[in-house]
Amino acid sequence: MNQNFTSTTLTDSRQAEATTVSRVIPTYVYATVFASLCIAVGLQWDISWHMSVGRDGLFSPPHILIYLGAVIAGLFSGIKVLRTSFWGSKEEKSQSIKFWGIFHGSLGAMFCVWGAFAMLTSAPFDDWWHNTYGLDVKILSPPHALLGLGMMMIQFGAMISVIAAQNKLGEKMDARTKSHLQWMYALSAGFLLVMVYTLVSEYFFLNMLHGVLTYQVAALMFPLFLISISFASPYKFGATKMALIYTFAMAAMVWIMPLFPAEPKLSPVFNYITRFQPFHFPILLIVPAVAIDYAIERWRHTNKWLLAGMLSLIFVIFFTPAQWYFSEILISETGRGWFFGRFSWPYFANPDYEFRFQFHPDSTSHGWDLIKGLLIAVGIGTLTSRVGLSWGNWMKQVKR
């Protein structure tokens, strides 16, 4: 009897804890993080779809998943904004941001609503664009630029929603709520990093990974996000967890996509395929992320410009050799196996391209050119690291 009583008590206690967490963390926060996941997965799937099938209409499965993310984020965030604006108490309104003199809501919810409008507006715009001008020559056509902006706004809104909840609760959180928010912060930041990488992925093609331009672009983009996330995180290893989520999300798509059949539907077909071709295997951002977390933990209160220079140097020193030598594995026979997925090749590309499994000589750096280029990368990274520190400091103070 005592055992049954104890079991019942434990079950009731766990249910009470779960209810408490759900009440403390608003539902729209969970919804926006899930929407960010839909966008990240849908984007990778869409790239694989274009590599394997070609353009296949507005309502292709990956497009539906991406727009589902927009609908979920917009719907849940919109309901939250409308409820606060028209039925919220004075206290709720005082704890929110006023917009257009009518609407009240959290900053994250506002970003998600704007992002959803941008994404859903881009859908018919993109369909009209293709019907009028044909296939895109470049990735960033006007409708794609609008779509990309909307996706980033939703993902940024999801991350801001989580960190605002963290900052607002502060030390009041119990262990279970803290654990939920910690991983939601890592997930939302990691999905945003997937999007950021995709935007600059044309500089990370396999045969370019021995060129200094790749590492200059990396120094321009990634310290900004790794440093801001680490600096704003109330938990240890914020950047490391962000990089882990990015790594797993990208790698999972590499492992899963080839399991499904696909064949080209749009000519010309130079490389006939029967399976989905995966996108890039993740770059080794986990290596500099660990080093950045340790550095920020130790020197957080150092002069910000000095700290930015140190963090930039750390990023270049840790990321460059790690990715440089890892790229040699990727381009070898080992990299062409199922794990790394570098057999991947679009149906519209010549499979006999001479630099498919070689580093392109025009994108290979040696000697002084390499050293000079990496010094420039440190300079670029110092500026973006300083912005990242300011951004992280701002995020630490967001409570609305």
Predicted confidence (pLDDT) per residue in 247-274, tens digit: 999 999 999 999 999 999 888 889 989 9
Overall average pLDDT of the 136-144 stretch: 64
Calculate the alpha carbon distances from 22 to 30, 106, 256 in Å: 9, 18, 32
**pLDDT range class, residue 3, cuts 50, 70, 90:** low
Query: What does residue 135 show for φ and ψ, rounded to 5 degrees?
Result: -70, 150
| pLDDT attached to residue 378 | 96
| Higher per-residue pLDDT: 27 or 127 | 27
| pLDDT attached to residue 183 | 87
Contact call for residues 289 and 240 (beta carbons, < 8 A): yes
What is the pTM for the complete model shown? Answer: 0.88
Output the CA torsion sign for 123, 45, 225, 210: negative
Segment 268-278, tens digit of pLDDT: 889 989 999 99
